[in-house]
Amino acid sequence: MPLVPESHRDLHDADVATLATVGADGTPQLTEVWFLKDDDEERPVAISLSTARQKTRNLRRDPRCALLVLDLAVPQRYLEIRGDAEIEPDDEYLYADRFGAKYGTNLRAFDSLGETRVVVRIRPDRVNAVDMRRQP
């Protein structure tokens, strides 16, 4: 059974999502991120991050995270994916190039000398597909 219901799969095409990670002191860190629908049904989205970013360090220390995709046309509708991040190296920028194709940019241009890229996939514990227009 798909983790993301058909009613919310169009949100995979959204431009940005909000990634929540846990800081070293336990406070949440929220960041707008680019993301892609992943082919892995058990890990429905992927994010390309630089190894130098705080959110990457947070996820390496504590993999708990959440991703919120808001429907900008209908703000009462959103998709939330909560779970644990799984981090894989993307030293050759193979996955980052997929992001470049979606967003019309070269992610190498954002990275400083010595930085590398990782692919972050979220293994969901919970998926909330909300449409408050349907609430009584």
**Looking at residue 114, what is its pLDDT?**
86
pLDDT value at residue 88: 96
| Residues 24 and 61: beta-carbon distance below 8 Å | yes
Q: pTM, whole model, 2 decimals?
A: 0.87
Per-residue pLDDT for 133 more than 80? yes
Say if residues 71 and 39 touch (Cβ distance below 8 Å).
no
User: So what's the pLDDT on residue 1?
Assistant: 39
Summarised one tens digit per residue, pLDDT across range 16-69 is 999 999 999 999 999 999 998 877 667 778 999 999 999 999 999 999 999 998
Confidence of residue 117 (pLDDT cuts 50, 70, 90): very high
Which domains are delineated in the chain? 6-134 (2.30.110.10)
Q: Select the more confidently predicted residue: 81 or 5.
A: 81
- Give me the pLDDT at residue 73, please: 82
pLDDT in tens, 60-113: 999 999 999 888 888 888 889 999 999 999 999 999 999 899 899 999 998 888
Q: Sheet holding 64-70: strands in order across? A: 28-33, 17-22, 64-70, 77-89, 117-131, 45-50, 36-37
